[in-house]
Each structure stands twice: as structure tokens, then as C-alpha cells.
Amino acid sequence: MAAKQPTIAITMGDPSGVGPEIIVKSLNDKHIYETSHPFVVGDAKILKRALEVTNVELKVNSITKPEEAVYEYGIIDIIDLDLVSEDLPWGQVSPEAGNAAFRYLEKAISYANEGAIQGICTAPLNKEALHKAGHVYPGHTEILAELTNTKDFAMMLSAPGLRVIHATTHVGLMDAIKKNNAERQYTVIRLAHETLQKAGIESPRIAVCGINPHAGENGLFGNGEEEEKIIPAIEKAQAEGINVQGPLPADTLFFRAKRGDFDIVVAQYHDQGHGPIKVLGLEAGVNITVGLPTIRTSVDHGTAFDIAGKNIADELSLKEALRMAVELAPENES
């Protein structure tokens, strides 16, 4: 039985941003079609405009469902939702673009829920545009979780030599500390363990960051957050045979993980985890939503309105996200 290439839906993201450009640049790589069946969910007119801007010579094939796609290098298959005007300006926040970005994702999720695809790869959306359109979510992750009825999920970031999974993400620092608790810690540790096992690591080595400097240093710093919120979760996971250590000081832990001591780090809040990843390689970073019924990967950068439409945007992060989606997609046989 030969493994089938996974079908991956690529959402255009905010059509005013760099998403359309990095999509056409990525799909100009023949290797993408040798490992997967990709199609785009977006607006065909915007995709054609991106082809003109980037001087990429590919054809656009508008379809109404994944089964109509040809999945052939040289042709970009696109579910054309026709949601934005032809003269939509590059690089500007607009409710029109924000709503379109939400609808592209919504359509891709519907295919995932139907079992028609094995993964979703998302180009960036703009949170301000999303909110102006009436879709008040912190970001992609929360939309995906709600539309797939997923309770336990987490954001995982990957860069060359380092993986990080977050206990909290898009909330203020004080709220992140307040909302953090032992139950959430355990859930994130378990999700990290299960995700890396599916990726082929038999016994993933997991390290958990402390919340306070020096992981509290036995109560010297903070108000006992490590003892209350982290240690019970680690002990519970260890009792179940999960290979996890911590809490460990964040100022040295990321160095140790990059050195190869650990397979993944549990970060306690947004900047604690995002900072090291982006220092290692903003262009090659990948954002992965863990715990969903289908794999979802994304670029680890924003809509870059300042360079949208100028053929400057680098597609490396999207290509890495596509590669990761293929790597983590469930195996299919024919």
C-alpha cells in the first residue's frame, strides 16, 4: 500500500497583505507538488494580481470543491469565494479584507470537518481588520478551535533547532499569570507529548519554563506560582510516564533546548516563547496549532502591510509551514 500525498488547503489570509504573494511564490516550487496536493482558498482575482506583482508564470484554475482540483505543478487550484473588490488596496486595514480572511479560514475548516483534506496551512491575517469586520478573536488559533469544537489546544512554534509550545498566548502578562493553572499546564504537556509522538519521537523530552526569574528559586522570587501552577502538573505527567522536567529557568532553558537537551519547551506566556523562536529565524519559523482534529500550520509572521504588493516578501516561512503540514498530516494509503 503506497502512502497518498496529503491534501492541504492553503488559506489566503488577509488579501491586502503579503499572503497572496508568498502563496504564488511557494507554489512555484515543483517539490511542493511532489509531496502534497495543495489548493488555495481565497479570491482568484487577488491571486492573479499577486502573479503579476511577483512575475510568477503560473495558471489559475478556479474550482468549487477540492475534488475538481488538478494538483499539477504550473497550475494553482483555488476555491474562489469572490469576496473582495478587484481594486482592494494593498497594505491597508479594511473590514472587507478582514471578513474575507475569516471566510477563507471558515471554508477550509469545513473541508477539514468533512474529512476532505488532511491539513490546513494559513497565510497571515490582520487582527485589526478581523475585528473591524466583526470577528472578534485573538487570532487564527481561537477561530480554529471554536469552529472545530476543540477544547484542548495550544500554539506550538518551530524554528531550526527549537520547538516551543505555549501555556498561554494572546493575553496580557498579568492575565497570563492569573489564568495559568495546574490543569492547563498538564494539558499542554500532554499535547506536546502526543504531538511529538505522532511525529515519530517515541519518548519526547519535554522541559517546562518557570514563570518567575530562576523559576522562583525556591520561593525567593514571585508568589509561589511554580509550586502552585506548574509542579503538580509535571508530577502528574511524570507519573503517567511522560518524560518531562521542570520548572526550569527560562534564561538558560532555551539555550539548552537548542543545544539538543530537550525536544520541546513549554513556555508560560507569549513573549517567553516567541522571543527565542524569532531570534533563531523569523523567516523559517512555523506556527502549529496542536490538538485540532486536523493539522494546521502557519507562517510565523504577520501581514507585513508595509511591503505588501511590492514583491519583497520572503516565502520561506510558508514553504516551511507547508513542509511541516505534510510531515504532521495523518498517513493515508491507497
Q: Tell me: the pLDDT tens digits for 140-177?
A: 888 998 999 998 999 898 888 899 999 998 888 888 88
| Amino acid code (one letter) for 2 | A
Report the sign of the C-alpha dihedral through residues 28, 31, 34, 38, in that order. Answer: negative
pLDDT at 283: 66
Residue 332, pLDDT score: 42
Reading the block at residue 77, the C-alpha cell is 487550484
pTM for the full predicted model: 0.82
8 Å CB contact between 308 and 131? no
Domain with CATH 3.40.718.10 in the chain: 1-150+293-334, 153-291
- Please choose, from the candidates 297, 295, 294, the residue with its C-alpha nearest in 3D space to the C-alpha of residue 284: 297
Q: Is the domain covering 1-150+293-334 a CATH 3.40.50.300 domain?
A: no
Q: Give whole-number Cα distances, 287 to 15, 50, 308, in Å.
A: 20, 23, 21
- In order, the DSSP letters of 200-265 are T-SS--EEEE-SSGGGGTTTTSSSSHIIIIIHHHHHHHHHTT--EEEEE-HHHHHHHHHHTS-SEE
- For the chain, 334 residues long, give each residue's pLDDT as a single digit of tens: 345 789 999 999 999 999 999 999 999 999 999 999 999 999 999 999 999 999 999 999 999 999 999 999 999 999 999 999 989 999 999 999 999 999 999 999 999 999 899 999 999 999 999 999 999 988 888 899 899 999 899 989 888 889 999 999 888 888 888 889 999 999 999 999 998 887 778 999 999 999 988 876 777 787 788 898 999 999 999 999 999 998 999 999 999 999 999 999 999 999 998 889 888 876 677 888 888 888 899 987 889 999 999 999 999 989 999 998 988 876 543 3
Peptide bond before residue 247 is cis, with ω within 30 degrees of 0: yes
Considering the segment(s) 153-291 as one domain, its CATH architecture is: 3-Layer(aba) Sandwich (3.40)
SS3 string, 237-253, reads: HHHCCCCEEEEECHHHH
